[in-house]
Structure 1
Amino acid sequence: MSNIFRIYKRDIINIVTNWAALIVIIALIILPALYAWFNIKALWNPYGNTSGILVAVVNEDSGASINGEKINIGNELVQKLHKNKNIGWKFVSYEEADYGVRYGKYYASIVIPQNFSQKITSLVNPNPKKAELIYSVNEKLNAVAPKITESGVTRIQQEITNAFVKTVDDVIFSVFNKLGVELSKEKPFLKQFTDIIMDLDSRIPQINKTVDDVYNQAESLSGFISKVQGQMPLIEDTIDRTQNVVSSGENFLVRARDAMTDVSPFIKSELVSLRDISQGSQGFADNIMDLIDKNPEEARSLLVKLKDRYATSAVRLGNIIQFMDSFNKSDNKTILNFSNKLNTLVSLIQNQVKYIDTIITAIDSGRTSSIDILNKLKENGESITSFLNSLVNDYDGSIAPAVAGIMKESIAALNNALALLANAKSSIPDANNILKNAFNDTKITIDVIKNIKQVLPGVENKIHDIASKLKNLDSSSQLDELIRILTLDAEKESEFIANPVDIKMNRIYPIPNYGSAMSPFFTALSLWVGGLILVSILSTEVIPFKKMAGKNLIQPKLHQMFLGRYLTLLTIAVCQALVVTLGDIFMLKVYIVNPAAFVLFSIFISTVFMMIIYSLVSVLGNVGKALAMILLVLQISASGGTFPIQVTPKFFQVINPLLPFTYAVSGMRETVGGILWGIFLKDIFILCLYLILFLIIGLSWKKIFKNISGKFNKEFKKSGLSSEGN
């Protein structure tokens, strides 16, 4: 490090102590700044100073008339252009305009033809024709001026369109106003009449369908009545038979009720019997548990008998459940609860059968039955006995009365049915008379509907014709809406249609002028140019130290000479960055959101640029200078500093992400318009990669290319064309 700083210190002392070198260095510091300042100032607000761009205007319009009123749109246009200061409009003759455009006095010319107003007003004719403006431009004078004049012509075209639309709409809406006033006077009657006819016309299909339906229904009714009259004797006989059936049913239910008196004790006795069987089975089960180990065969025989007992009990319970469900049609809660308990009991018995089967299987296989399954057999048997005891005890108090109540309700329902049938039978003579009269009336109705069907098509055609004529008055909206639109303010409506949309500008990261917007590009460009000038004028080679009396100086190595001279050039490059950025801020008053970041980032990119340029020139000599110049040219076009990169040819879009200038300009824009840290840090990171990459190239390739570049430069000097002399 001592040799590196010794080289740097010697360079600084040489600059400060040599007035010629000091002047050159100061010039090298200021020159890049001048490059940036002049360009930024020249482009400070180019689109705000377009009044100096002269455009000739020739008005040859002879005017026209519409509804007896003379108009001259060409004259109106010229009056508006007199007030427009965006472009330098010059109102001259056709000859003057033609000569001025050809010889560069005017950038462009606009000729308003003689028939301009006539063609615009041809809208009222059956065959309207578009009007034309003759626009001539001299494109060799300047690349940008034609675009500016073209935007001016587009603006004129828009002004004419708006004026034309407003004028025509004024006339149209004035006529509409008069029509709206007349319609509003007759509105009540016209609206009522229109509504009636339109509604009637819309209902014609429905009326036709209704008439057809009535006719078909009348015929069907006539046939139905005739059939019913023919079936009346059968109906009377059926009622008689039904009365007999219901009477028989009543007698049956009375007998069933009496029989139920005998069935109810039977059910109870069945439950008592099943309880006794269950209690006996418990004793059976105790004996089986004692015999399981002593005499398995005898135990198995007892288990088979016990299983049969439980199976028989389940069947008997199933019969009782089926009987109870068969007559409980009214869903009596007591009966339902009783049936549910019986079902639960059946489930317990089925489980008991399963336990017995398990024990039998164990005996047949010679295995010892588990204590758990034997205990379950015993406990489940006790549950069955307990359940049956509960049912027997509850039977007389709740089940038997519920069954008697259901039977009583069934008999009452049958008595009601008998009464209804008796009333129906007594009403049959009256029904016969009603059917006879209805049949006669239906015949008359059918004849009337036939006459209506014959007359209806003619009426339908007349109504539809009237509705079609009135439809123009109410085709898109109701009459009130039509009158409201017709009576609106004609001037306001025509103004709205001529300019229906206003643009509301939302400026994100606003920059007030073009010069400030271009300052990132020109500032970064000046720093690259500054670095290129430095290596073109100052040498990248380091002279060895002179030997001093009494001192043994260690001569620097290649990498030490490389880094030592880089520090010298970097110091000058940093001064260049400070001068150009501080001049942008304080002298040009460039708009910058974050001035401190603007200055610091400029110093950073100057450091990166200097490393890239210095490495190329230090390693490759004059070839490196050429490469640095080629990089400059490519970066101007491919960095997106002027035009968006998307509008450039594909080649420049491909190399754009590979160029350091891309990220330098992007980072500078962040400091000028407002920093998005994601973008800003990404730019810094990529530029750091360039710095490290070219530092490695400079340090590693310096030795490799030393002899090659040295021979090349030596031969080039012999030509006598080298700037460094022979």
Structure 2
Amino acid sequence: MWRIFKTDSKNIGTNWVAAILIGGLILLPSLYAWFNIAASWNPYGQTDQIPVGVVNEDAGAMVRDKKIDVGKELVETLKDNDDMDWRFVNRDKAMDKVEYGDYYAVIVIPENFSKKLATVISDNPKKASVEYYVNEKINAIAPKITEKGASVIVDNISSNFVSTVNGVIFDMFNDLGLEIEKDLPDIKKFENYIFKMEKDLPRIKQLINESLTDASSAEEIINKAQGMVPKAKQTTNDGLAIINDTTAFLTEAENRLNEIAPKVKADLKKVQNMAESANDYITKIQSADIDFSAGDQLTDQVLQRVNGGIQTIETIEKALNQLKETNNANKSQGEEQQAQQQSDQQINQALQQLAALKAGLQEVKGNITEINSFIGEKKQQVDNRLAELQTKTANVNTKIDAFMKEYTESIEPTILAEVAKAKGTLANAKEMLSGIQETIPEVERILNRTEDNLGKGEDKLGYISSQFPYVNAKVNQLADRIREIQGETDINEIIELLQNDPDAEKSFFSEPVQLNQNKLFPIPNYGSGMTPFYTVLAIWVGALLLISLLATDVKSSELYSVRQVYYGRFLTFLSIGFLQTIIVSLGDIYLIEAYIKQPLWFILFGLLSCLVFMAIVYTLVSVFGDVGKAMAIVFLVLQIAGSGGTYPVVLLPEFFQTINPFLPFTYAIDLMREAVGGIVWERAIHDVTFLSLFGIGGLLIGTFLKASINKKTNVLMKKSKDSGLFH
């Protein structure tokens, strides 16, 4: 075994081609590890190179007369954010870019973003949403990074929004506390008011019932009033018709008076002339020597003249009586009493005077008849009678003069004035009735509206009455609750609770739970965290490179036993593997400068892993030949996916979770992580134990099964070489 190992070492040292190839095999696995560790050193530190489109379509909103535009504020914030390469474009350009692959993702702030956030003060608040588009075919990890960036944006918006809203709320609470403290006397009054209301509720119920009764009565009164409206309309119309008729009658009477006034004056003048003629005639008789034999002729002439005067007086009386009837008709139409009475007095006085004048003429007529009867008597008696007749005719003439003057100066102007006054009064009455007539429709509308409103009010009173038991119960409940609170809680404590620092409360609710991170095994960067995986992977890859280029058999194998060949060549493979491991470990520490808390143990754990991996890979190829190489590669693939080197085992599919405990990588990676983060020896010993079992198992298979299995695999290898395709 040692001879084989020494020979291999000498051949490497004396053959420069072999030395170069071995040197390459020693270095190549390190490059594999170093490049991958460097590439993943800080993948999130370069996210500012990832282009992400941002589309702001937010139209803003109004909150209590204040304009808010969360989308605009977010854009301004992102312009100062270097987490990603934010590209602020419109929707069309953004979607074209993300579909083509120029943008890894697009974040769209919709038009109603601020509007929905503003619903927080409404009874039905709605959540705002942000649209997120990602092109996952570009890269497997980039979508996760951009998604995280979008989530951070949403979290920041939510945090700032919650902080702002809570700040406003606690400002209000603080103001409310101050206001409550200020209005504490009013609160006490309110409590007393509730208690008083509780006490007055029975009286309120009584008043509601009385109001309902009064409303019903008022409705009946309005219905009666509405029933009287047509009658009022008819009465008003009739009154207007009567006034119009009366006015027309007065106008006609005035016209008639104006027509008969000249005739009355002419008739009075005629009577006066007759009286004068009679007087003159009597005077002539007195002065003349009367021939009594012609007495009959003379008396006939006098009697004719006296009858003419009496007829004229009767004509005047008839005209005055017609005027009196006209005044009486006006009086029946409701004209002013005093004016009518004055007019009647004037007419009556004129009638009395005419009656006296008429009586005088009739007396003259009687005397003339008497003269005719006694003409044969003594002449002295005739003279006496003529003297008396002359006196009476003179009196009649004087009375006619007085009546003519009174009629012209007093009776006619007074009657015309009273008629004009009556017409004015009728005009005023007509104006008043016209106003009443115009008002009646409005009164009717008011009555209808009042009836409607009264009906509604009655309905409301009925509703209030029906709801009164509920209100009564609630007021009593509120009063009981106030008494209960008074017994349990001090309002001053509530005021003190409300009067907290709004800024402090705002800060608290923006981040109610603060994460105090305590790293038990701090690893400063992602590359250092991935160093165990890539280092273990490099060690396995190094073993694969060796079995791909170096032979597991030796020349002159007939000089050595199978076990000697197995262990002799294993030492050569293991020595090269150790060099690979040392170089990759030291490169991790000093070249890549990965964070490794226990560098020495990191190297030692790497050497142990190399020993186990080499025992497995070498044994597979030494025992199974080319089939073993394929087995080693398959084993590598399974271990990359199922060892938990990149993702936690619990996140892996069930198959890989099942095979995880049976993979050497599982324990090798955990052991190297102990050295990187800080060793927990209980766990390290656990990993060393299971890892050693894999190595021992590989060596036992090579020790006891190589000879028997090689007999069968040699036939297969000979066949494969005969094909000319395999070496």
Question: Which TM-score tier does this pair reach, normalised by the shorter chain?
Answer: 0.5 to 0.7
User: Displacement of 1:471 after TM fit?
Assistant: 8.1
User: Displacement of 1:164 after TM fit?
Assistant: 2.2
Equivalent position of 1:536 in the other structure:
548
Q: Could you list the per-position Cα deviations for residues 490-511 of structure 1 after superposition, in whole angstroms to 9, with x for gaps in the alignment? A: 3443332232221111112111
Aligned pairs for 1:497-512 within 5 A: 497-512=509-524
Equivalent position of 2:692 in the other structure:
688
SS at match of 1:167: helix
| Contiguous gaps of at least 5 residues in structure 1 | 202-459, 546-553
Aligned pairs for 1:344-363 within 5 A: none
User: Based on CA coordinates, which of the two structures has the bigger radius of gyration?
Assistant: 2
- Aligned AA (2:637): V
TM-aligned CA distance change 1:699 to 1:179, over 3 Å: closer
TM-aligned CA distance change 1:475 to 1:134, over 3 Å: farther
User: Displacement of 1:475 after TM fit?
Assistant: 11
Of residues 34-43 and 696-705 in structure 1, the stretch that sits farther from structure 2 once superposed is 696-705
Q: Work out which of the residue numbers 82, 99, 123 in structure 2 matches 1:126.
A: 123
TM-aligned CA distance change 1:195 to 1:711, over 3 Å: farther
Q: Could you list the per-position Cα deviations for residues 348-367 of structure 1 after superposition, in whole angstroms to 9, with x for gaps in the alignment? A: xxxxxxxxxxxxxxxxxxxx
Equivalent position of 1:467 in the other structure:
479
Equivalent position of 1:25 in the other structure:
22
Equivalent position of 2:103 in the other structure:
106
User: Displacement of 1:191 after TM fit?
Assistant: 5.4
Mapped partners of 1:63, 1:466: distance in 2: 43
Aligned pairs for 1:171-186 within 5 A: 171-186=168-183
Equivalent position of 1:377 in the other structure:
none
Equivalent position of 2:414 in the other structure:
none
Q: Does 1:659 align with 2:666?
A: no
Mapped partners of 1:121, 1:157: distance in 2: 16
Mapped partners of 2:69, 2:184: distance in 1: 40
Mapped partners of 1:140, 1:101: distance in 2: 11
Q: Could you list the per-position Cα deviations for residues 147-187 of structure 1 after superposition, in whole angstroms to 9, with x for gaps in the alignment? A: 11111111111222222223333443444444333321232
Equivalent position of 1:206 in the other structure:
none
Mapped partners of 1:31, 1:539: distance in 2: 19
Aligned pairs for 1:249-398 within 5 A: none
SS at match of 2:559: coil
User: Displacement of 1:682 after TM fit?
Assistant: 1.7
Equivalent position of 2:151 in the other structure:
154
Whether the 8 Å CA contact 1:54–1:89 is kept in 2: the answer is yes
TM-aligned CA distance change 1:471 to 1:687, over 3 Å: same
User: Displacement of 1:662 after TM fit?
Assistant: 1.1
Equivalent position of 2:715 in the other structure:
711
Q: Does 1:482 align with 2:460?
A: no
Q: Could you list the per-position Cα deviations for residues 430-475 of structure 1 after superposition, in whole angstroms to 9, with x for gaps in the alignment? A: xxxxxxxxxxxxxxxxxxxxxxxxxxxxxx9898366268589989
Mapped partners of 1:193, 1:691: distance in 2: 87
SS at match of 1:560: helix
Q: Does 1:567 align with 2:575?
A: no
Mapped partners of 1:161, 1:472: distance in 2: 40
Equivalent position of 2:588 in the other structure:
584
Q: Could you list the per-position Cα deviations for residues 501-525 of structure 1 after superposition, in whole angstroms to 9, with x for gaps in the alignment? A: 2111111211111111111111111
Mapped partners of 2:664, 2:704: distance in 1: 21
Which TM-score applies when normalising by structure 1?
A: 0.59
Mapped partners of 2:158, 2:596: distance in 1: 41
SS at match of 1:705: helix
TM-aligned CA distance change 1:496 to 1:622, over 3 Å: same
Mapped partners of 2:86, 2:69: distance in 1: 19
Mapped partners of 2:121, 2:689: distance in 1: 67
Equivalent position of 1:365 in the other structure:
none
User: Displacement of 1:126 after TM fit?
Assistant: 3.5
TM-aligned CA distance change 1:507 to 1:71, over 3 Å: same
Q: Could you list the per-position Cα deviations for residues 381-415 of structure 1 after superposition, in whole angstroms to 9, with x for gaps in the alignment? A: xxxxxxxxxxxxxxxxxxxxxxxxxxxxxxxxxxx
TM-aligned CA distance change 1:463 to 1:656, over 3 Å: closer
Equivalent position of 2:599 in the other structure:
595
Mapped partners of 2:473, 2:538: distance in 1: 88
Q: Does 1:49 align with 2:61?
A: no
User: Displacement of 1:114 after TM fit?
Assistant: 1.6
Equivalent position of 2:88 in the other structure:
91
Q: Work out which of the residue numbers 137, 141, 144 in structure 2 matches 1:144.
A: 141
Equivalent position of 2:681 in the other structure:
677
Q: Does 1:61 align with 2:58?
A: yes
Q: Work out which of the residue numbers 32, 36, 39 in structure 2 matches 1:35.
A: 32
Equivalent position of 1:612 in the other structure:
616
Mapped partners of 1:71, 1:645: distance in 2: 47
Of residues 86-95 and 460-469 in structure 1, the stretch that sits farther from structure 2 once superposed is 460-469
Q: Could you list the per-position Cα deviations for residues 250-302 of structure 1 after superposition, in whole angstroms to 9, with x for gaps in the alignment? A: xxxxxxxxxxxxxxxxxxxxxxxxxxxxxxxxxxxxxxxxxxxxxxxxxxxxx
Equivalent position of 2:532 in the other structure:
520
Mapped partners of 1:63, 1:639: distance in 2: 51
Which TM-score applies when normalising by structure 2?
A: 0.59
Equivalent position of 1:628 in the other structure:
632
Q: Does 1:73 align with 2:70?
A: yes
Aligned pairs for 1:407-422 within 5 A: none
Whether the 8 Å CA contact 1:191–1:479 is kept in 2: the answer is no
Equivalent position of 1:648 in the other structure:
652
- Aligned AA (2:722): K
- Aligned AA (1:624): G
| Contiguous gaps of at least 5 residues in structure 2 | 199-471
TM-aligned CA distance change 1:686 to 1:126, over 3 Å: closer
Mapped partners of 1:657, 1:614: distance in 2: 22
TM-aligned CA distance change 1:681 to 1:170, over 3 Å: closer
SS at match of 2:139: coil
- Aligned AA (2:85): G
- Aligned AA (1:482): I
Q: Could you list the per-position Cα deviations for residues 200-221 of structure 1 after superposition, in whole angstroms to 9, with x for gaps in the alignment? A: x9xxxxxxxxxxxxxxxxxxxx
SS at match of 1:504: coil
TM-aligned CA distance change 1:467 to 1:591, over 3 Å: same
TM-aligned CA distance change 1:75 to 1:462, over 3 Å: closer
Mapped partners of 2:107, 2:510: distance in 1: 23
- Aligned AA (1:528): W
User: Displacement of 1:645 after TM fit?
Assistant: 1.0
Q: Could you list the per-position Cα deviations for residues 610-629 of structure 1 after superposition, in whole angstroms to 9, with x for gaps in the alignment? A: 11111111111001111111
SS at match of 1:56: strand
Of residues 22-31 and 130-139 in structure 1, the stretch that sits farther from structure 2 once superposed is 130-139
Whether the 8 Å CA contact 1:123–1:129 is kept in 2: the answer is yes
SS at match of 2:517: coil
Equivalent position of 1:558 in the other structure:
562
Mapped partners of 1:476, 1:169: distance in 2: 29
Mapped partners of 2:96, 2:541: distance in 1: 43
Mapped partners of 2:45, 2:155: distance in 1: 20
Equivalent position of 1:700 in the other structure:
704
Mapped partners of 2:655, 2:707: distance in 1: 34
SS at match of 1:685: helix
Mapped partners of 1:472, 1:163: distance in 2: 40
Equivalent position of 1:165 in the other structure:
162
Mapped partners of 2:69, 2:484: distance in 1: 36
- Aligned AA (1:659): L
Mapped partners of 2:718, 2:621: distance in 1: 15
